[in-house]
């Protein structure tokens, strides 16, 4: 079967969809709405019992000793870096292929992110590049479970142990995943999650840090509450008004009604992950024969959580570059996206830290080729088929 370029919506043809299918979207049901409504009718809207209940449920699901809820995934990263005591003069290794917040959290505390390159087949941090990035000033390593696939933590912990470095897992893509039978959330010294609407579960906005270190957890609970030694609920329980500021913190609290939504969503995480994996299998089967489309490889011993389904475009075999394919698929009504511009190429980092092209060539090459296809559990079978039809239509038109 062949296609004509004149059939493409980009060229005036009939699109596969009339309305745009987003790359990600929340899935809310009546139980979620009722959980929020119950809290709205209660005495506590923030810093109340729903926060601790959500934290306990999250810790149990991830196999972690402690979970600390905060206002966003970015706040989770910031709190984790603060708990490690990162400060001016310290370096933290960060993969180049990630959202800017992974590096920004280091800068917030006065540290310097040092960008490591990624594996060309998975776009996860490359252990060899991480090892080469270590200097006498290195104080920590951040691993990013890109697209929902856990990194090679055996290899990374071997490197970290040689140099006495803690590991932070930016697991914002990977809730519900696992590495060699161990759930994401229990893989690193500190594990950070996002509860943004496009993630596996949502609280509207929100984040969580998991850890087995009670000192880290205590530090982060103070940090999320202005650096105060107690929160409002603790003072109410003691019948006291007294608090002291013991650290420089932020207002990174998550409300009770957001925690109620998050806990309700957490009960459906297994179904959400199963649906994401089902969609990924359908994409795998349908796209494997199309020329110039290369999905990311999944490593051994990994249970992928599929926050994203990322393909790479080989322009020579496909017959068009990524920018053209992006425009063509958007015209067909498929809300493809790009994750991400390598952080070291952003103007802020180039101007302030002297980064730029050539530092991480694998990530830079991947950036020019990658596309994220729609992936969320609320997609119908018809939605999935529309994505496959559109990608096939564009591929055949250009090849």
Catalytic positions, written as ranges:
199
Max alpha carbon distance in the chain (Å)?
75
Whether a cis peptide bond, with omega within 30° of 0, leads into 340 is yes
Short-list 83, 74, 133, CA closest to 105: 74
Percent composition of the chain: helix, strand, coil (DSSP 3-state, to 5): 40, 15, 40
C-alpha to C-alpha distance for 378 and 366, rounded to whole angstroms: 29
C-alpha to C-alpha distance for 254 and 71, rounded to whole angstroms: 5
Strands 190-194 and 207-211: antiparallel
Short-list 267, 273, 283, 197, CA closest to 24: 197
Q: Which two tokens stand for residue 297?
A: 């490889």
In degrees, rounded to 5, the angle at the alpha carbon of residue 118 between the alpha carbons of residues 117 and 119 is 140
C-alpha to C-alpha distance for 135 and 301, rounded to whole angstroms: 31
What secondary structure does DSSP assign to 147-181, as a single string? GG----HHHHHHHHHHHT--EEEE-TT-TT-EETT
């Amino acid at each position: 079967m062949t296609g004509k370029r004149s059939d493409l919506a980009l060229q005036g043809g009939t699109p596969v969809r009339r309305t745009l299918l987003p790359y990600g979207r929340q899935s809310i049901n009546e139980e979620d709405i009722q959980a929020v409504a119950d809290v709205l009718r209660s005495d506590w809207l923030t810093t109340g019992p729903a926060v601790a209940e959500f934290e306990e449920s999250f810790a149990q699901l991830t196999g972690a000793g402690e979970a600390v809820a905060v206002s966003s995934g970015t706040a989770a990263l910031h709190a984790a870096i603060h708990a490690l005591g990162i400060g001016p003069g310290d370096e933290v290794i960060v993969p180049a292929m990630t959202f800017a917040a992974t590096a920004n959290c280091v800068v917030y505390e006065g540290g310097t992110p040092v960008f490591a390159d990624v594996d060309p087949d998975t776009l996860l941090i490359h252990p060899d590049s991480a090892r080469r990035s270590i200097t006498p000033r290195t104080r920590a390593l951040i691993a990013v479970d890109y697209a929902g696939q856990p990194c090679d933590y055996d290899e990374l912990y071997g490197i970290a142990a040689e140099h006495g470095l803690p590991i932070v897992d930016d697991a914002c893509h990977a809730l519900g995943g696992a590495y060699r039978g161990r759930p994401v959330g229990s893989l690193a010294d500190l594990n950070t999650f996002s509860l943004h609407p496009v993630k596996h579960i949502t609280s509207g906005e929100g984040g969580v840090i998991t850890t087995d270190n009670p000192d880290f957890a205590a530090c982060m609970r103070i940090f999320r509450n202005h650096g105060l030694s107690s929160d409002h609920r603790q003072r109410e329980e003691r019948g006291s008004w007294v608090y002291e500021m013991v650290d420089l913190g932020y207002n990174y609290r998550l409300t009770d009604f957001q925690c109620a939504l998050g806990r309700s969503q957490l009960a459906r995480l297994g179904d959400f992950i199963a649906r994401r994996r089902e969609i990924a299998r359908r994409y795998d089967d349908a796209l494997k024969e199309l020329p110039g489309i290369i999905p990311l490889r999944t490593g051994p011993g990994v249970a992928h959580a599929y926050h994203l389904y990322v393909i790479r475009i080989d322009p020579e075999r496909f017959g068009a570059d990524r920018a053209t394919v992006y425009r063509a698929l958007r015209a067909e009504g498929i809300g493809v996206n790009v994750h991400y511009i390598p952080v070291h190429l952003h103007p802020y980092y180039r101007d302030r830290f002297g980064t730029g092209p050539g530092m991480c060539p694998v990530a830079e090459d991947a950036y020019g080729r990658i596309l994220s296809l729609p992936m969320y559990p609320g997609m119908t079978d018809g939605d999935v088929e529309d994505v496959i039809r559109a990608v096939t239509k564009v591929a055949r038109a250009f090849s």
